[in-house]
Structures are given as C-alpha cells and as structure tokens.
Chains A and B, each alone.
Chain A
Amino acid sequence: MLESYREYMIRCARCSNCKYIPHYILQDYNYTYVCPSITRYNFHAYSGGGRLITALSMTDGRIEYTDKLLDIIYQCQMCGACDISCKYGNDLEVLQPLYDLRIKCVSDGQLNPAHMMVIEGLRKDDNMLQKPKAERGKWAEGLDVKNINEEKADVYYHAGCRYCFDEELWPAARSAVNLLKKAGVDVGIAGKDETCCGGRAYDLGYLGELTKYAENNVEMLKTAGIKTVVTSCSDCYHAFKVLYDKIGMKGDLEVLHITEYLDRLIKEGKLKLSKNLPMIATYHDPCHLGRLGEPWIHWDGKIKTEPDMRVQHEPKKVFRRGTYGVYEPPRDVLRSIPGLRFVEMFRIKEYTWCCGAGGGVVDAYPDFSMWTAIERVKEARDTGAEALVTACPWCVRNFKDAVKELGDTLKVYDIAELVEQCI
C-alpha cells in the first residue's frame, strides 16, 4: 500500500542523486544522467525523488488527479535507476512506492488510454502486443521442440509476448532454444498455450493482471512438473523471479535468464564456441535483468527509531540495491565468443541507461521511448562499437527502431543470436 511507504517518502533528502549514475563511478560529463524521464522533462517531479514526493502529496491529500499528474506518473519507464542511485547513500525505497502509486491510480480509475488498450488486448488475447492469441506459437514452427503441456521436459523456455509476436525477432528466440537443445538440455516450450507473464502489466499498475498470470503460469508449470524456467526476455525473467516471489507465488521455481544458462553451459563445456565472429560489440544491460533482476527479499516489519533515534528496521531489513543483478554472465558469454572485441558503454550494470521501452512508455509516449533509445544508441556509437548486443527483446526492438530512425548502421543483436553463429 502506498501509505506504508510514507516514512521513506518524508525522508527523501531531495538530493537529486536519483537523476544521476552513482557519482562514485561518474567519469564523463556526457554520460552523467541515469533517469530518462528527468533528463527529458526537467521538472523535478519527473525524477524518482520527485515522484516519491508526488506520492507523499497524494498520501497527504495535497493534490488531486489531473491529466498532468497522470503524465508525470506514467512518463516513467519504471527502470529502477533512481532506486539504485538513491540506495547507494540512503536506506529508502523509491521504486516500490512508484509501483504502488500506479496501482493506486489504476484502482482509482485514473487510467492511461494507451495502457487501457494494451490491457484490454491482454485480457482478450493474453499478450501485451494486441495480437491474436492463436498466433502465439508461430515463432517456434519447425523448431522441433517439446510442448510441456504434451510432453515431459526438465526445463521450460518461456518466449514471452515480444518474442512470440515480433516476427523480426523470432531468430533470437529460436537461437536460444536451439542452443539449449544443442547443449543437451531437456527443454520444452508452451507454444500457443503460452500466456503473458503479467510483468509489464504490473509495471502499468495492474496488480490483478500480474496475479492472474502468475497463478496461470505457476499452475501450468506445476502441472507440467517443471522446476526450472529459462527465458530470453528480461521482463519475463523479472516477472517470474522477482514479482512472483513478491506476491508469494514463486515457490521453489528456479528462474534463469538465457544468458545465465548459456554462461553455465559454456563454462561446463557443453557449448563450444569455435567459429570466429570478428566484431566490436558493446553490451546493454537490460534493467529487468540487471539492477531489477536480483532476488526479491521479503520483509514485513516496521521502521523503528529506538533506542538511539537512528532509523532502523525491525526485523532487520536487507535492502535490494541492485548489487546481485545479472551482470557478469552475459559479459562472460560475450567474452567467450572468438574474435569478438567487447567494449563497455559508459552507463552499465546497475547504472545502465534504460532502452526506453519499459513502464508502458513505448505504448503511451512513443516519442519519449524513441528519444530514450536514441540516447542509448548514440552512447553505443561513442564506444566505437559496430554492434549493440543485449538480452531482452523489448530492448532489441527499441534499439532497432532507434537505429532506423537515426539512419544508423549499428547492428542490434540478442546475445543468443551471436552465440549460435559461433557454434
């Protein structure tokens, strides 16, 4: 509940650290900002701290809903960068209240029209792309892979809505499955029976949809006897691993991103990368794999200020500060590709710059989404890279569109595509 975060809201120092990458590692004037929203829209309300204050204003009844207020709330990719930058120095929650802020908006009927269309599509066709449900399994045609609803498999590969319905991106999902099979993994998919993970709906404030799809997916996996989920989509990864746990539905499910799995397989010698792939490539950390990908930590306690007035938590609270996101496995995978020269961008890992597609922004504010992606493409170019590699189809789509918009020649790949080229 939003009100439960009030003790954090009032302790926002208004230091603006939420706008920047952690200052400890800041090395370049041009790559200072980490929050696309404040960078674009400038008024303080558009920063993480600003939205925390907005949440306080709402909690304290100081403001009413207006169109502008809703813009402020929804012109945010929910990328979590503000949360991480704040938590370098402070024991506050920033992102969690922002989720609750959106949930409150939805429950108060304060909806974004573009989001409404997306959710209607979700409710009708179980996907976030407003595509016919019947077409969900087409990406896997000819793939010769088990369907977990028909055959037993050890590992479930969840493609996710974007991979299922964005034909241009199918090769990456197919590569992932092929690689797993090549490595001897007993993998199955759900094909046309796959449904949305519910993660992106949650980002829009639709808690009910998350719960519904979590129940659905967990039930399906339980029935299929699946203990391990692997996905190429960072949003789905975040949903299964973090959100389902947050709402108490994850159970013992092991959730892996394809990059984690590939890294493991390469290190175990089950995948051998032998073909040369000469290119200079940089890697974009997807928000939901990196800083938001660390496990959920349950805490149900209260803030205490006794005995010494210091703000502490009872029971002790371990804050999620982005430390344990998935950063190295994708990098290790790239480094193991023969001939590939890997260069880092300026904003990476827990302080990565969002691709722009998250939080419903790509649906409701496409120009803002595009602008965000273009900033990232320019950053990739500044490294001297010929290719921008990432690990999430939403990032891939947004970057491809940005490259096209710019008329650039930068190539955009998902990691799995590159790995398959080396086998």
Chain B
Amino acid sequence: MALKNRDAYKALEDVLGPDYISEEPAILDTYAFQWGAELFTSTPFLPRSGAVTLPGGTEDVQAIVKICNKYNVRYKAFSTGWGFYSGLGLDDTAIQIDLRRMNRIIEINEKSMYAVVEPYVISSQLQAELMKRGLNCNIIGAGCNTSALPMAAHQGLGHTAVSTSYGDRNVLAVEWVLPDGELLKLGTLGSGAGWFCGDGPGPSLRGILRGPQSVMGGLGVFTKAATKIYPWYGPPRQEVEGVSPNYKLKEVPKNFSIHYPIFATWGKFLEAALEISESKIAMLVDRISPPMLAQALTASNDEGAELFARINEETRGRPGFVVILTSESDAELAYKEKVLAHIVKEKEGEYLAFIEQDDVKREYLWMELRVTMPLREVFRSTGRFLGSIGDSALFQTSVRMMIEAMEIKKEYQEKKLMRADDGTDCIWGVTIESGHTGHAEQVVFVHPTPEAWKALAEFSERCEDLALDKHYTVPITVWGDRGHDKFGPYLCNYHNWLRKFKKSFDPRGVSEPAMYISAKE
C-alpha cells in the first residue's frame, strides 16, 4: 500500500531524502502493529498508514507538517511509538512521523535544574547522564525505555511522583511545531531567554499543550522540551553485578533504604501513604501489588507464580506499597527511617519481611528507580494489559474508585476474559508532590485477542459510568471524540473548548485527532 496522495509523497521524499521515508508494506506493518490494536481491528495490526517518515530535526518536522497541510494529508508524530496511541486513526491517506532520529540531549543545566531533550531521548539515557551530576529525572511508570519528553506519554506519571512530580508539572520551555507548521517556542525560548520557563508572556500556552493527559499527537509535534530535574543523593554510577536477567546492585547505596509496609485495611493504607508522602521523607511511594512485585522480581512466569505464593503467605491480601528513602547523611536517613517506622506502627502496619532481605533490596531498589520492570510486571503475564480508569486528583478518591472497580472487574475475571488477580488486587498507584495529589489505576491483564479487548473496552466504559455516577474524577481512558463527548457535558462542557482549540490551531484538521479531539461541530 502506498500513500494515496502521490504529490505529497514526492514532496516529502524531496525534503527528507529516500532513506528517511518509506511506504514499504513490511516497514509500515511494524508501525501498524501495536498492543491494543485488537480492540479496533480484531488483529494485532491497526490499519497501515500511507508512509512513515524519519525527520532529522525541527526543520524537517516543519517541512513535513507544512506539506501535510498543503496536501491535506493527516499526520501523527510519536517518539518511541509504544502503544496504539501512535497509530490510531491512520490509514493510507495519512503518514506517521517517527521522531527516532531526534535523540539528542541538548543541554543539562545543573544550576537551574533542567534538561533539554529531543523526543527520542529515552529516560534511562537521560537519567544515566543526570546521575553523574547528582541529579535525577521523573521516569514514567511505563518504563525507562520511553521518551524523556514530559509530554510524550499518556500522563507522564512515574514511581517517584511524590518527589519528582509528573509530566504536566515538569514542563518548562518547549519548541513546538504547531499543527499548521508554524514554530512556537514557549515562554523564555520564544523571548530569547533560554529554556527555564514555559509560561508567558502573559497567559501560559502550556494550557493547551497538555493537561493531566497529554494530547497524544493531536496538536502538532513537540520537537524539544526542557524538563525539570531533581536532586539525586546516590552514586554517580551504579555498580551492578550479575548477568541478564539477574542484575542487582553490588550494594544498596549509602543512606538509601527500601521498605514495603503492609496494612490491615485500605483505609489504613491510605492514611499511611498520605502521612508518609506529606512528611516529605520519601523519594518514592509506589503502590505495586504483590502479583506485580512477584513478576518484577522473576525472569519467567513460572517463577513469578511461585514467588507470588511466597509473598502472599506474608501479605495475606493486605495492601501495601513500596517506600524508598534517600538522604545525604546518616542523620537524615535515621530521621526518615524513624518517621516511617512511626507512621507504619501508628497505622497498625508492618514491613514486608520479603523486601527486607539484602539481595531483594539490591535488585528491587534499582528496578524501582530506573523503572526497568514494566515488561515483567504487566506484559509478560498474559501478553497484554491496560492500566485503566485511574486519574490524578486525590489519591484517596482514586484508590476508592479502583476498589469499587475491582468488583466490576471480577465479572470479567470469572469469564476468563481478564486474568484474575491471584486473590488480591492489581491496583497501581502513586502519590504526587508530597501527597497533594495522587493517582491510582486498575491494571488489567488480558490475552491479545479481540474478545479480551472488547471486554476491556466494556469494563473501561462501565468504570467511566461509575466515575460519572459517583462523581469521582475523570478516568484516563477518556480521550478522543468518544470519551470527550461522553464526559464533556458533565465537566462544564470542556470538550467544546477543546474543540475550539483544535479548530483554531489545526484549521485543516491534519494533526491526527483520534487520541485528542476532532474539531467537528
């Protein structure tokens, strides 16, 4: 299949050169293949786009977008392109923009605590370079193999959100090719003052750049961004021992510790999580369920099942979360450990002994901080998953909504359309910014079959109905026309404003809106 508009293809090839554009079916299929495609096409493949392009820099991106506007060809840009977000809504009249060649770390400003990255810098790369300088970055929960751009991912929430916040809050200046091809430089960048601020002059255009969810390719192309970075108290390089898949740190870094407190009830769990977060002692407060913990610490599903059985003997279904404390001094760590122990005791909890073992700490601490385990946690089990229906307002309401959602989930688990949670739950969650906000979601494991994805879609819709009926906040499955048209009327008709933004900034409607919103009347 080839791009329908041959003039557009020729124009793109003239700009990029033949090495950086392709309409070869085999290549297009590797972009059409996505987890979640089964929901839309009943196959592992979304419809193929007409061509894939590989721009080398901002000028190339602008040229591509302008050609698309001229020839009315829809386009969707993505960084690592992981998930149906990067291909949904496309066909042979549209193109994909793979930003892989734009992979430079432009600047690390240690004094002003920001890093400027291109879209294909992945978080492990950035974190590795930052740690050499005593710094760190937010890494999203999907893993360090994803873009370090603070608006590439769906939400940009990660395990260390309690201390490193999340995507929406880490954006500083941005270089942005608008849907019509104009180059917008947010904040200080546009005024020639560098990268340190994305707001102004006057109102902040970060307002349309993203919200709790990003625009997922629907409003032009982000070509560079400055992201806030954070202090790191560990060693500049990590001493790792072992051979894949059995990596561990040689030792837990000085003045670091990791615990997994468990509590008798969800109520106590919530109280403890929030007290710990508010006390500012933790670098990480991460609700990982025991099945996911077992998957993370094993190299195969067989081993995962065995380890879960061992962990479950100890947890017996009691909810808990991971806490990582870091500090620069013995006195600081001693204080933080004391506070943590006090809160855990006050909330009638205890530390999971399994995590207290030295070899487990040495393996798992770095997994959490580098975020290397998502494949094991969520994909290996059945092949596919969806983190569904959470939000990012209050941790308490988010967790309560997930607990209610568990009851709905059980129906599908009994029909074997979703994997059972081993007698426990699969709620993932984090507190954000010392507990001011928080997020939780139900992690659902399915097989890569159309039936399973249909069940997942149905489950998500029922959870959306739950969110609406009970006035919980907006689930993260709300995107695209369907989601916005459903939720908009209950949220001050925000969707109408979103449509106006879309229409105004993308008058020809060529920035593929399937994951954002269309400008339809």
Contact = CB atoms under 8 A, between A and B. Distances in A.
Do chains A and B directly touch (beta carbons under 8 Å) in the complex?
Answer: yes
Interface of A: 10-17, 20, 22-29, 32, 42-45, 49-50, 53-54, 56-57, 60, 62-64, 66, 68-69, 72, 84-85, 87-91, 305, 308-313, 316-317, 319, 321-323, 325, 327, 349-351
A322 B420 contact: no
Given A10-B448, A42-B101, A43-B98, A24 B26 contact: no
Contacts of B31: 44
10 contacts: A13-B82, A14-B83, A16-B81, A45-B24, A54-B29, A87-B299, A305-B447, A323-B243, A323-B245, A327-B243
A43 B54 contact: yes
B247 interface: yes
A101 to B, nearest CB: 11
A308 B419 contact: yes
Of the candidates B33, B299, B420, the one having the most CB atoms from chain A within 10 angstroms of its own CB is B33
A56 B375 CA distance: 20
Chain B: interface size category:
35 or more
Of the candidates B305, B383, B419, the one having the most CB atoms from chain A within 10 angstroms of its own CB is: B383
A313 B122 CA distance: 33
Among A23, A42, A84, the one with the most B-chain Cβ atoms within 10 Å of its Cβ is A23
Q: Which 3 A-B pairs have the closest CB atoms?
A: A89-B375, A11-B383, A309-B419
Given A13-B35, A321-B299, A89 B128 contact: no
A323 B242 CA distance: 9
Contact of B35 (A14, A305, A313): A14
B405 to A, nearest CB: 19
A309 B145 contact: no
Interface string B239-280: 010011111000000000000000000000000000000000
Contact of B128 (A13, A28, A53, A311): A28
Contacts of A349: 243
B125 interface: yes
Given A27-B128, A63-B29, 9 more contacts: A17-B145, A24-B240, A44-B27, A62-B45, A88-B299, A89-B373, A90-B376, A321-B245, A323-B245
B300 A319 contact: yes
A400 B139 CA distance: 41
B66 interface: no
A310 B382 contact: yes
A308 to B, nearest CB: 6
B54 A89 contact: no
A8 B34 CA distance: 14
Contacts of B44: 10, 56
Contacts of A42: 20, 54, 98, 100-101
B372 interface: yes
B52 interface: yes
Contacts of A325: 243
A10 B372 contact: no
B351 interface: no
Contacts of A11: 379, 383-384, 448
A66 B82 CA distance: 27
A43 B372 contact: no
B367 interface: yes
A57 B246 contact: no
A26 B143 CA distance: 13
Given A23-B145, A24-B372, A54-B26, A91 B380 contact: yes
B310 interface: no
Interface in B17-72: 20, 22, 24-27, 29-31, 33-35, 43-45, 52, 54
A63 to B, nearest CB: 5
A84 B379 contact: no
A20 B34 CA distance: 19
A27 B20 CA distance: 29
B472 to A, nearest CB: 28
Contacts of A313: 302
Contacts of B129: 28-29
Contacts of A68: 22, 24, 26-27
Interface string B412-449: 00001011101000000000000000000000010110
A79 to B, nearest CB: 15
A62 B302 CA distance: 34
B257 to A, nearest CB: 20
A15 B371 CA distance: 13
B98 A12 contact: no
B244 A350 contact: yes
A70 to B, nearest CB: 10
Given A13-B375, A308-B419, A323 B246 contact: yes
Nearest to B366: A24
Given A20-B145, A43-B22, A309 B247 contact: no
Nearest to B240: A25
B326 interface: no
A309 B444 CA distance: 12
Nearest to B304: A310
Contacts of A309: 382, 416, 418-420, 445, 447
B372 A22 contact: yes
B345 interface: no
A90 B380 contact: yes
Contacts of A10: 44, 383, 448
Contacts of A69: 24, 26
Nearest to B246: A323
Contacts of B34: 14
B301 interface: yes
Given A14-B81, A20-B124, A43 B27 contact: yes
Contacts of B43: 60
A63 B98 contact: no
A323 B82 CA distance: 27
A50 B245 contact: no
Given A44-B31, A44-B81, A309-B416, A89 B380 contact: yes
Central interface residue in B30, B35, B300, by most chain A CB within 10 Å: B30
Given A22-B247, A69-B26, A309-B420, A43 B52 contact: yes
B191 to A, nearest CB: 29
Nearest to A328: B243
